[in-house]
Structures are given as C-alpha cells and as structure tokens.
A and B are shown apart, each in its own frame.
Chain A
Amino acid sequence: MKFSKKEFIFNPLKYLLIFIIFLNIYIFYKLDIDKFDQLLNLLISFGVLNFFSEYKYKNRSNLNILSIFSSILLLVIVLYRSFWLYSEDNFVYFLFPILYMSLVILYFPMKNVIKNYKPILISFLLPITKSLFIPLSIIFSPLSSFFTWILLNALGFFSTVKGQQIFYNDSGINVTFSCSGVGQILFSLSAMIILNFCFPLRNIRIFICQLFIAFLFTFLANILRLFLLTLYVHTANSEGFSMFDYLHGGSGGLIFGFLSMTLSCESYKRFYFGNDISNAIN
C-alpha cells in the first residue's frame, strides 16, 4: 500500500468506508443472502478498500457545492430505500455500490470521479453479475446437461438427456438455472477481475487467458457435481445421510466452488509471478 501510517490514521473517509463495509456485511448476513454472494461481497469490499487506502486525503482538492449536494442526496435516497429491505430484495446488491459512490463524490470533485473508475467498477460487480445471471443461465443450462450426459456415458453409466433433464436408471435430474453453474462462474470471473485490479497481470492477453481458464475450471467443477448428483439421485429425500441432498445443498455445493477457486487462483498466481514463481515463494 502506498499510504503512510499517519495518512491512514488521519483520513476520516477511510473510517467511513470501513463503517459502510461492516454495515453492508451485517445487512447481507441478516437478510440471509446466498453464501456465494456473501463471499463475493467480502471480496468486493476488500478490493474497494485496497484502492481507497491509496488515496491521499490531504491532497484532495476542495469540493464544490454540486459534489456535496449530490453526495448527501444519494446517501439519503439510498438509505430511505434500504429501510424497506426484505429477504430476497434485489436492492441489497445495489446498497454498497451506491453508498460507495456517495462517498467517492464526497472525496473527489465530480470530474475526478470518472478517472477513479476501477474501485467503482469493482463495487458494481455484484449487481452486474446478478443482471447477467438469467441470460447466461439460458445458455449454460442445456450445455451443462449435455456435457454431464457425455461424461456419464463416457464412464460407462448409460443415461439419456432431454433438454435440461438427464435420466439415469429409473430417476434423473433437472438442471435448473441455479444448477447450471452460472452463479459459480460469475463468482470466479468477478474474483479474477478484482485480483487483476489489485494485482494486475502483465498484459490484457494474459488476463483474458486467465479469465478463460477460470471459466473452464468452474464449468468443469460443476459438470463433476452434476455427474455425482445424477449418480446419487436415488438417495434424494431418504432417511439418514443422503449424498444427493448433501451435494445439492449449500455446504456440498461450496466444496466444488472451493475446488474451482483454488485451481483458478493457483493459475492466476502462476501468471502473476511468471517464471519467477519459485523466487516469489522463497
């Protein structure tokens, strides 16, 4: 980080940002938001705080009345709306980006806000990924079903596929939007974008290559999950421990998220350090 210890201590806006981050994490927790979204929210907070810590408080130019007015207005509007938050309310994803925008406007004059686009873009990652979920799911649900069917047959488990449904023995699974793996794919791509802003790769080509690798790992991890779900579908709703229910539920699903993220981050680390990886580790 480029700021001095003294600079960090005397910047009240940083404390305000930390307060906003904690408030946002608390609201996500209270509203029982999906675990992947809570994790992404933490990553986003880390990314934004990382950038904000580099701004020099004393060097900022004097604000004009327009900035002050816009900031307070934005704050009041977003807080009024968030009084009416309920569980499954999609506004919760806009809460942090809009609060952060109001803080940035209070920090910089309007004309400088655009120049500092990176942390703003990071803060908007959650609503962006949420809005991409449906169109990507339309594409990926049949694709995931198809590749799961190929894997099943390739390993000798005779199955059939019809649209998004995979049939094996006398039972089968229906690959819905939430099973399509799009949530995990968007999560890992968002994590790669945040990493690239905080620890940039050497050039855009390497970054695109890394995005593709992260996508591939996550997609394949989901195919593996669907493969196991199809094999264990007969254990659904059975008494005692059910492998299907475990893998289908939040905890089991996180194992595959963890697997794909570990592989993606390992790949990122190798690209970031290049040939000097052994030196970097040492």
Chain B
Amino acid sequence: MRLTNKVIYLYALILILYTFIYVFFKPRPKLNSLFIKDSNPSLFNYIPKNNIFKIKSPSNKVSVGKSFFIKDNENWYQVIQLSFWKKEFLGLSFLNRQLNITDINVKSIKSINSNNYALGKFQGEEIAYSCMENSNKFNYKIPIKKVKSFDINHWRKVYFKNLNSVFYSFKPENYECYVVITNKTSFFENSEFEINKKIFNKFLYK
C-alpha cells in the first residue's frame, strides 16, 4: 500500500472524529461561580409556581447560569445569570420570545446616560428588565452607533475587526451580566446605592 493511501485513512479518521466532537461538544461562554450571601433565606430560594422564569440558551453565544428570586413587601425581582461570547452580542430579545413578554417595541426601550432597559408586559403585569454588569452599567442591548455609509475609516475598522475575529480572537471573551426582571418599573432609575442594596449586595461571584 502506498503511503498516500495510508494518509487518506488518517485524513478520513480525523474528519470523522471531528464530526463526532462537533456534534457533541459545543463551546459556550464560561460562567462565574455565584454564592448567595444574604443570611435571610426567605428572600431567596423562592421558586415561583411552574417556574415561569425558566429560560434556555438561544445559541452557543449565550450561557444561562443560576437564577434566583427576591421578593420584598411590594415588589419582586428575578435575577438570571447570563454570560455572552462577547460584549457586543449582548441582547435580551430572546427573553421576549421565551417568556412571552408583550408590548415590547422600539419605544419601550429607555435610555439613561449610556445604559438602557426595556419595559414590557409579563403575564399582564408591567415589568422592566435589563442585564446588569454592575449597579451602574446595564443594557437591554448594546446601542448601535449610527455611521454614514461613506465613512471609509469606519468600514476599514470593521474589516480589520472581522479579520481579527475570524483568524485570531475567536474564543469566547465571557462577558457576564445579571438579568434583572422586576415589576418595579422605575427600578433602573434608582441610585447606585439602591440597586446595590436591593440586588448586588445579596450575592458574591468569582
């Protein structure tokens, strides 16, 4: 048997092995470990009936982590840990489909400084939601910069960025944020202190 014939078998073996690995192994963004530090367990571990906030990853660009429910006297807050492949892929439109959030359109996305959140209706109740990196950075989606078609410099940057992501920086950058869904529609207009007190002081992540 000629050497080349043996190489064909090696080639075929690599290809078949790859196919199996591709089908069963899908790389996804990594998630940090999350620990709830509040000593009052009644705030947490409250699982709503039928787990109505259960969501699944829409593609391998997003990983869904732990979620927990906080309830105070008047309002409730559902927190869901998400990790995106890159920050620019951040977008919560898949939640609208999966959780049947209605009344969501362009006008229901509100901007505050460089942040934004969405207003919608969930099971007939007005809600606000956004993905929080920390208490002063949150986004429903990354705003798209308006550019002029003839801005050659912009398109040159787009080319280099695409080439870079195709051949070099293709692995996940693991941008993690926490989706907060709440019936307190003015929640995202609260001060940093208030948001920390309500959400971020309740857990640790590393």
As a 0/1 sequence over residues 118 to 157 of chain B, the CB contacts with chain A under 8 angstroms (1 = contact) are 0000000000000000000000000000000110000100
Residues of chain A lying within 8 A (CB to CB) of residue B158? 134
As a 0/1 sequence over residues 137 to 180 of chain A, the CB contacts with chain B under 8 angstroms (1 = contact) are 11001100000000000000000000010000000000001000
Known: A27-B22, A106-B11. A164 touches B149 (CB 8 A): yes
Residues of chain B lying within 8 A (CB to CB) of residue A86? 27, 59-61, 85
A82 at the interface (CB under 8 A from B): yes
Residues of chain B lying within 8 A (CB to CB) of residue A27? 22
B7 touches A71 (CB 8 A): yes
A117 at the interface (CB under 8 A from B): no
Q: Which of A202-250 contact B (CB under 8 A)?
A: 237
Contact of B8 among A84, A87, A106, A134 (CB under 8 A): A106
Q: Which of B85-126 contact A (CB under 8 A)?
A: 85, 105
Contact of B14 among A23, A79, A94 (CB under 8 A): A79
As a 0/1 sequence over residues 1 to 29 of chain B, the CB contacts with chain A under 8 angstroms (1 = contact) are 01110011011101100110110010100
A91 touches B59 (CB 8 A): no
Q: How large is the interface on A (under 10, 10 to 19, 20 to 34, 35 or more residues)?
A: 35 or more
**B20 vs chain A, min Cβ distance (A):** 11
B201 at the interface (CB under 8 A from A): no
Residues of chain B lying within 8 A (CB to CB) of residue A87? 59-61
- Mostly, the B contact residues are helix
B22 touches A82 (CB 8 A): yes
> Once bound together, how far apart are the Cα atoms of A32 and B150, in whole Å?
30
Chain A residue nearest in CB terms to B152: A138
> Once bound together, how far apart are the Cα atoms of A90 and B8, in whole Å?
29
What are 23 A-B pairs at a CB distance below 8 A?
Answer: A16-B12, A19-B15, A63-B4, A63-B7, A75-B11, A75-B14, A75-B15, A76-B14, A81-B167, A83-B21, A83-B25, A83-B27, A84-B27, A87-B59, A87-B60, A89-B166, A89-B170, A91-B166, A102-B11, A103-B11, A135-B155, A137-B149, A138-B150
Assuming A91-B170, A135-B155, what are 16 further A-B pairs, CB within 8 angstroms? A12-B8, A16-B11, A23-B15, A63-B4, A72-B7, A75-B15, A79-B14, A86-B27, A88-B61, A89-B170, A90-B165, A90-B166, A102-B11, A134-B158, A138-B155, A141-B149
